[in-house]
Structure formats: structure tokens, C-alpha cells
Amino acid sequence: MTKNPKLVLPEIENYHSYSVYTANGGYNAARKALKQTQDEVINEVKASGLRGRGGACFPTGLKWSFMPKVSEKPKYLAINGDESEPGSFKDRQIFEFNPHGLIEGALIAGYAMGIKAAYIYIRGEYHKWVNCMQDAVDEAYAAGVVGEKMKATFGIDFAMDIYVHKGAGAYICGEETSLMNSMEGDRAYPRFKPPFPAQVGLWGCPTTVNNVETIATVPAIFNVGASEYAKLGAQGHAGTLLYGVSGHVNRPGVYELETGILLTDLIQDVCGGVKNNKRIKAIIPGGSSMPPLRGDEIEGIKMDEESLKKLGTHIGTAGVMVMDEDTDIVKVTLRIAHFYHHESCGQCTPCREGCGWMEKVLKRINKGDGTSQDLDLLLSVCDNIEGNTICALGDAAAWPIRGFILKFRDEFEAKVKKNRSFQALNVVHGRRESAKTLVFEN
Amino acid sequence: MEIKFNESELAEVQMHIDKYPIKKSAIMPVLWMAQKKFGYISKEVMMFVGELLDLPYSHVYGVATFYTMYFKKPMGRHHVQVCTNVSCMLLKGDELFDSVSQRLGIKHNECDAEGKFSLEEVECMGACGGAPLLVINEDFYENVDIDKVNSILDSLN
Ligand SMILES: Cc1cc2nc3c(=O)[nH]c(=O)nc-3n(C[C@H](O)[C@H](O)[C@H](O)COP(=O)(O)O)c2cc1C
Ligand code: SF4
Ligand code: FES
């Protein structure tokens, strides 16, 4: 295979239309897969090494194998296109340029797990892309590759429906259990796990949740073969990724490239380098929830989960945010804190209160009213949130804030007052009526 | 305006209900339909949606207020949204928001007196590669600057 094949976003004009898609081999992967047994399909996906593209990198074939083989209740597939993680804008490309790839992947996944219906959850802000996806689903129904007619088309006793569901503006709906509550018609509060979705998911039925890119990658596995696919990219994290690069680069955008490429190559060769030839101060490698990297540590870093994990961060959604030397790190951290505070659903105290306090304290630091104890206060709030909440939004807030403070403490120190501001400290504690008078040591 | 759907809209409601195993699950698409028709989700609209789907008002209220995109008050004909999240902020999205706010004379989540413009400072819209980003109603304008935004706003009536 050529280097960096375009498997998920082929560069073919009008590929979004059913006729162009099929003229270029579209739905052949489904034809192939639907002739195999369900276990063979799952094993093929396992062998490909595909890992989820929604942020957590969970092995996809393994996830599919968690679904009960026999179930009295119907089984569902929820395809996660909430895509609200700041810095991520890749799934949108699939809705616009390869919606049939997503449908075909859904058919294969659905067949492998015996799914009754797949729901594609698309964030509300993507009005246009919801329409792109709905048009493609309508086309697929008309062509007889989805729904009851697919039995005749593929010559098998299996039929599945696909529906598009439009969100209405809430980052938390990307969390898989929140997504299920949202789709069921309740407030989108994340649920406790266990029970896991494969046991109790949508409408109380076994459900698998996968990211849009994950599902859109599945046809490629059957087209090129699992063993060929597994050879692509980095060991332990095979395949191609849709890297979404934004911030201070000359050519931001979504690029499909193999996993494990050098971060510096991605920025220099693919994205045309940093704007105005500036130096890089910081990079967030995989969407705003991931701990940042310093500009002086990116040399030689490879963009795959295993490599990034060693550096204390993650590939996440592969949304790479590049910040040049003039970037105000405190302001960026404050903006991130504001985001998580705004998006916390409010169920867990550590997340609801912690995110609020982190934003308040960072605001104070940004204004120049903070003290150096505030930095330790922030770190302790991060520690108190992480691991103590129902869903991972809490962790997603703590990681980048802790990361920025630990890696750029000098920038924060430069903004805080050298002398302790008693007044500022008292503002915090004064809010609690029961607060004891503070005693300061020198 | 009378809070009522006509026959074809009721057929659309039924189509949404049919997509899900239970009626309640049609609440989001029906709220979208209601917002399109009535402009925003007032208390009357919530009660109406509740009647359509056999849900108590309190449930509809809970769902409608959970999401930022269901308007709980009248908004302008042109709902102007500027993203100030990190990727946009790095390319001066925050300054853009301030200048739009100044030009329109309204702040975040406000609507002008004529009901022409409303303004919202939005979180990441999933268009970070095209930062800074302006969205008007459902249309995305990527890679904008203050001049471009001004000429887009000039062209609206
Ligand atoms: C706060 C939060 C937001 C999330 N947002 C998304 C999202 O927008 N899209 C997505 O695919 N996964 C998102 N996830 C991850 C999902 O919970 C889930 O792991 C993923 O959809 C599984 O798909 P995958 O195995 O194909 O990666 C989010 C998780 C959390 C905790
Ligand atoms: S961690 Fe935050 S977002 Fe997640 S359930 Fe708890 S309060 Fe809600
Ligand atoms: S940060 Fe503005 S669109 Fe993503």
C-alpha cells in the first residue's frame, strides 16, 4: 500500500453521492463482510488493530465482542458525532465528504453485533452536516442498502435501520451515557457505570457506542484486509487518523495520515509551519482535554497513543492545537477552565464546584490579583476532581489545567503578585459564612 | 402567534416519534420543529410539546433548559455567534466578539430592540481549522476578520 493512504477521506470528487461512492467500490466491503459469520467480522476488526477515534482509544473489535450474542431485547448502535471537544473538527469532514463510508461501516458493525437500529448523534450546531448525513441516509434507503430492502440487496436475513439524531448544544452529550439519556429524551446527565452500555444502554437495551471516524474506518479494513490495515502506522495503534490541526499554523485543516507520524513533520511539512515563522510555545495534541506539551519537548515526538502516553498525554481526538511563542498561557488556561465550567452537567460536586472555582481563581490570576498559593490551590482542586466524578468530564477539566500549571509555572508566576494579597484570599473564604478567620504565616 | 402545528407538521412529529421505540425520545426533534416555527421555546411552547408527546411540562422544561441551542427568550432574526474557544481565541476570536458586540450594541445572549440581531459568544463549534469563526443562524463563515464580519453584517436586512 502507498504511504498515508486516504482510506477515510479519499480525494475523489462528489464521493458523498451514492453513485460516485459505488462507482469507486463503495458497499463492496459490506458485501464481503456480510457473507462472513458475525464472529469472523468481529475477529477481522480485532486483527486490524483498530482503536476508537473518539478519544479513549479503546480497541473496537474488543468492544463489539462485549455485546451479548443472544438478547431478548433489541440491540442498538449509537454513533457518536457530537464532536464538541475544542480543537476537534474531523467528524464533520466525514458527514460532508464520506457519509456513505459511515453508513457502510454502520452496516458492517450492525451485522457483526446483530443490531436492530443505528442512531447517528450529530451535534446541533452542525445544521448543514446533519442535512448532508440525512441526505445520504435517504439515498441509501432508496438504493436498498439500508432497511428491509437490504435483505434482498445483500441476499441475507439481516436488516437494520439507520436514523440521524440532532443534538442541541451540550458538550456533555459526547460522553457515551449522556448521549444515551439525551437520545432517550431525558436531560443529558451521564449515568453511572456499571452497568456498561453493552448490558444496559439505549432504552435499557444492549448498546455499543462508537465514534463517527471509528465506524467510517471499518469499510477500509474489509477493503484492504485486516492484516494490511494492521501494518499501517504505529505499532499498537494501527491505521490512519484524521488529524485536525488548528491555531498558529499556516495551513490548518484536517489531514488523513498514518498514526505515529512526527509531530514536527505534521506541523512543518503538512501544515506549512508556524505562522510568521514564530517558535512554538505549547501544543495540545488531542483536543482541549489532553495535557499540553511544551514547544521545547516536541522534537522526535510521534503521534500515536502509545508514544504520547509515555509523555503523560494522549492522542485523544487528534485535534492538534498549536500555540506560538506570543501566546498567553494563562489566558488559554482560563479559557479552558471557562469551557469546562460552562459544560459541567452539575451532577457531581467535585466537577461542578471544582470547575467553577478553577475558573474564578484563574480569572483572578489573569487579572494580576492572584498569589502563588493560588497555583497550589488550583493543583489541589485538580487532584480533588480527578477520579472522583461520574463521568470523565471532570478529568478532562483537570488534566489540561494541571498540565499547563506544571509545564508553564513560570508564566503563571509572572502574573501572580509577588506579595501575598490578603484581600484576594479573603474574597474566596469570605464567601463561606462559616469560614474561620485565616491565619497567615510568613 | 397561536401555538399549534398544522397537519403536515403533525405528520412530521409522527415521523419523529416513529424513529424511536418510545414517544418521549422524539422530544429533541419536536423542540427543534417548535423553535423553527415559534421562534423560541416559551412556557406555552413547552406545554404544547408536552401535550404532543404525553410528557409533563416539568420534563419538557428540564430538557429544553439543558441545551443552549433551544432559545428560552426571543432572539434576533439574525442570531450572530462568535466562537472564542481556544483555537479561535489564538486567532483573535475574542477581539472579534468584542467588536461585534460593540457594533451591535448588545452583549452575550442579548437581542437588539428591533429584534434584528442577537449575539452569542459560543463554545467551540467544530470548525477550529477555519478559525476565527462567525456563525449566523445556521451558516458558518470561516477564516473571517473584522472587515469581513462587518461587510457580512452590512449585507443583512
Ligand atoms: C466529556 C466527554 C465528551 C466526549 N465527547 C465525545 C465526542 O464528542 N465524540 C466521541 O466520539 N466521543 C466522545 N467522548 C468519548 C465517548 O464517551 C466514547 O468513549 C466514544 O464515543 C467511544 O467511541 P470509540 O470507542 O469509537 O472511540 C467523550 C467523552 C467524555 C468524557
Ligand atoms: S463529572 Fe461533571 S459532567 Fe460528568 S457527570 Fe459529573 S458533574 Fe456531570
Ligand atoms: S475553537 Fe472555535 S470552532 Fe473550535
A263-315 pLDDT tens trace: 999 999 999 999 999 999 999 999 999 999 999 999 999 999 999 999 999 99
CA distance B38 to chain A (A): 17
Using CB atoms, pick whichever of A74, A86, A182 lies closest to residue B124.
A86
Of B36, B111, B42, B109, the residue nearest B76 (C-alpha):
B111
Q: Which residues make Cβ contacts (< 8 Å) with residue B38, sequence separation at least 6? A: B1, B3, B45
Measuring CA to CA, which residue among A99, A78, A112, A85 is closest to residue A27? Answer: A99
**How many CB atoms are closer than 10 A to CB A376?**
11
Q: What is the pLDDT of residue A418?
A: 61
Residues of chain A with pLDDT under 70: 418-442
pLDDT at A442: 39
Cell of A430: 469570605
What's at B15, amino acid-wise? Answer: M
What mean pLDDT is predicted for residues B132-153? 98
- Phi, psi at B107, each rounded to 5°: -105, -175
CA B37 to chain centre: 13
pTM: 0.95
Select the residue of A185, A188, A332 nearest B86 (Cβ to Cβ). Answer: A332
Round the average pLDDT of chain A to a whole number and report it: 95
The answer to whether the CB of A52 falls within 8 A of the CB of A214 is yes
For chain A positions 268-287, those within 8 Å of chain B (CB to CB) are 284
B34/A contact by beta carbon, under 8 A: no
Q: C-alpha A391: how far from its chain's center?
A: 14
Q: Please name the residue of chain B whose CA is at the shortest distance from the CA of residue A344.
A: B66
* B156 in contact with chain A, both atoms CB, cutoff 8 A: no
CATH number of B7-66: 1.10.10
Residues of chain B with CATH 3.40.30.10: 78-154
The answer to whether A49 touches A238, Cβ cutoff 8 Å, is: yes
> Looking at chain B, which residue has its C-alpha nearest residue A181?
B25
Show residues of chain A in contact with B69, CB under 8 Å.
124-125, 167-169
Per-residue pLDDT of B7-31, as tens digits, reads: 999 999 999 999 999 999 999 999 9
pLDDT at A432: 52
Strands B78-83 and A240-247, sheet pairing:
unpaired
Residue A92 has its nearest CB partner, among B122, B126, B139, at: B126
Q: Is the ipTM of this complex over 0.90?
A: yes
Question: How far is A222 from A63, CA to CA, in rounded Å?
Answer: 18
pLDDT tens for residues A409-441? 999 999 997 655 455 455 555 555 554 545 444
CA-wise closest residue to A258 among A285, A283, A288, A230: A230
Q: What is the pLDDT of residue B78?
A: 98
Q: What is the pLDDT of residue A433?
A: 52
Q: How far is the CA of A174 from the centre of ligand 1 (A)?
A: 5
- Roughly what angle, to the nearest 10 degrees, separates helices A422-430 and A349-367? 150
Look at ligand 1, atom 18, and give the residue with the nearest C-alpha. A176
Minimal CA separation from A43 to chain B, in Å: 31
Domains of chain A in sequence order: 18-231 (3.40.50.11540), 235-324 (3.10.20.600), 329-430 (1.20.1440.230)
pLDDT value of position A441: 45
Q: Nearest Cα to A65, choosing from A202, A198, A197?
A: A198
A163's grid cell: 436514523
| Identity at B90, one-letter amino acid code | L
Distance B124 CA to ligand 1 centre (A): 16
- Residues of each domain in chain B carrying CATH 1.10.10: 7-66
Cα separation, A428 vs A4, whole angstroms: 53
Crossing angle of helices B57-66 and B43-53, in 10° steps, is: 120
The yes or no reply on domain B78-154 and CATH 3.40.30.10 is: yes
Largest CA distance in chain A: 81
pLDDT at B128: 98
Contact residues on chain B for A288, CB-CB shorter than 8 A: 85-86, 124
Please report which helix (H) or strand (E) contains residue A365, including its range.
Answer: helix A349-367
pLDDT value for A284: 98
Confidence of residue B1 (pLDDT cuts 50, 70, 90): confident
Cα(A84) to centroid(ligand 3), Å: 9
Q: If you measure CA to CA, which chain A residue comes closest to B19? A: A163
Contact A283, A292 (CB under 8 A): yes
User: 60-99 in B: which are within 8 Å (CB) of A?
Assistant: 62-63, 66-70, 84-87, 89-91
Using a CB-CB cut-off of 8 Å, the residues of chain A touching B33 are none
Q: Do the Cβ atoms of A268 and A245 come closer than 8 Å?
A: no
